A and B are shown apart, each in its own frame.
Chain A
């Protein structure tokens, strides 16, 4: 299935660019541009590329722009995406590191909903924040929060995870309570993949399954391991898997990445990608 990964590169001078992505000499390639795979959207896109290859799916496409936090790049991307929305041939979107902006979020969501098809909508990172902030979380198919972000979804007043109220502590033993609260307040997507020591795959307010093994603690400290998980899930969806299946495969493969790489907390996500093919194989066979 055709898929578009939408996000940012942490360099204000990087241009707005859309095209098929590939990996070349350890760098992410789009058009004639090459990007370091350290974390963020480049890490998600690179993982999706490699995982798609393992699943015999086409390479994903990406719409990227430079934005180091001032938001100008994100706004440029939002306006462009609204302009081209009607003509895009795409079965799904994965929205990622983008400056939260409710006005532009709503323009994009409404442009998607004006289409005659119903592309699958996955949101992670900043775009998940703004999807919740806008009040349209329930219009999304999948969010991929970690425990802190799950608390944010559960807090109906919080405009950002930084303002999550203190009674919603990052207490993994209370994840199901947070999930129920997020759905009650209509602040969750149709499916959730809650990342943590135990991963929760959720549909509606029902926990479909949890995954806690194999466990490699150092993965929590490594920047980009949440991005790699969303990348693998994106590849699964591109390969035609349904959302719970893609999340299950992603959770297992990401965990086996840790087992095979045996990282310290000083590893980089790029160090792990060499193990992706083996991790996906082990995920499929159960180790």
Chain B
């Protein structure tokens, strides 16, 4: 078995597991080409492919990318003024991101949870006192950037985040800002 694994080690068993890839859908082919070059230059493992038939789009090319890098990808596109039509999971392109927020009121502190990320703020001062949850390596980095700073003055998680955990934190952060504004 081990020998077989070492021989076929570069080809993970396609019958097991779920896809780690996402698809970015664009309006025009020119955007696909520009985005591919941009993302490859940034070191991302991307491929241009044909879209699944269920996805209705005027463009016949999509970009496949590692789904954990979604935040990094979208931020790069945003900075270069490329606006994708849609970002979906390869596994099931009908999958929707988590959209519900879980709120906990600790009296002086308010916690907002989005997917696997939580942010906690002091209600009077708006100081971010904690960030928790998640599993991608940008979470501890983002926590260092955010904790101890004012919710309305700090750089948003999307500016420094790279992964889906970072994207979840951005959603929690936006919801927290919405609630603290009243």
Q: What string of 1s and 0s marks CB contacts (under 8 Å) between A16-39 and chain B?
A: 000000000000000000000011
Interface residues of B, CB < 8 Å — how many? 70
Q: A102 contacts B137, CB within 8 Å?
A: no
Among candidates A129, A132, A149, A220, residue contacting B104 with C-beta atoms closer than 8 Å: A220
Among candidates A103, A106, A223, residue contacting B143 with C-beta atoms closer than 8 Å: A223
User: Whole-angstrom distance between the alpha carbons of A83 and B139 in the complex?
Assistant: 28
Q: What string of 1s and 0s marks CB contacts (under 8 Å) between B139-172 and chain A?
A: 1111110010000000000000111111110000
CB interface residues, A 85-111, toward B, < 8 Å: 97-103, 106-107, 110
Q: A106 contacts B116, CB within 8 Å?
A: no
Q: A265 contacts B116, CB within 8 Å?
A: no
A100-B136, A126-B135, A162-B164 given; A221·B109 CB < 8 A: yes
- Mostly helix, strand, loop or mixed at chain B's interface? mixed
Q: Does B111 contact A (CB under 8 A)?
A: yes
User: Whole-angstrom distance between the alpha carbons of A266 and B119 in the complex?
Assistant: 11
Assign chain A's interface to a size class.
35 or more
User: Whole-angstrom distance between the alpha carbons of A99 and B98 in the complex?
Assistant: 20
User: Whole-angstrom distance between the alpha carbons of A161 and B70 in the complex?
Assistant: 13
A residues in contact with B6, CB < 8 Å: 110, 114
Q: Does B132 contact A (CB under 8 A)?
A: yes
Q: Chain B interface: which of A55-63, A64-72, A233-241?
A: A64-72
Q: Does B58 contact A (CB under 8 A)?
A: no
A106-B9, A162-B164 given; A223·B147 CB < 8 A: yes
Residue of A nearest to B99 (CB): A166
CB interface residues, A 244-287, toward B, < 8 Å: 264-268
Q: Chain B interface: which of A151-159, A174-182, A205-213?
A: A151-159
A159-B19, A220-B111, A265-B111 given; A97·B135 CB < 8 A: yes
**Shortest CB distance B82–A (Å):** 20
Q: B113 contacts A148, CB within 8 Å?
A: yes
A97-B140, A156-B18 given; A103·B68 CB < 8 A: no
20 A-B residue pairs with Cβ-Cβ distance under 8 Å, sorted by A, are A41-B140, A69-B72, A70-B72, A97-B136, A102-B20, A110-B5, A114-B6, A124-B135, A132-B17, A134-B17, A146-B116, A149-B116, A160-B67, A162-B167, A163-B96, A166-B98, A221-B106, A223-B143, A224-B132, A225-B132
Please give 9 more A-B residue pairs, beta carbons under 8 A apart, in addition to A69-B138, A221-B106. A39-B131, A101-B66, A149-B135, A157-B89, A159-B21, A159-B89, A161-B115, A163-B89, A221-B118
Question: Closest 6 interchain pairs by CB?
Answer: A69-B138, A135-B16, A135-B17, A69-B162, A40-B140, A125-B135
- A residues whose Cβ falls under 8 Å from a Cβ of B: 8-11, 38-42, 67-74, 97-103, 106-107, 110, 113-114, 124-130, 132-136, 146, 148-149, 152, 156-166, 169-170, 217-218, 220-226, 264-268
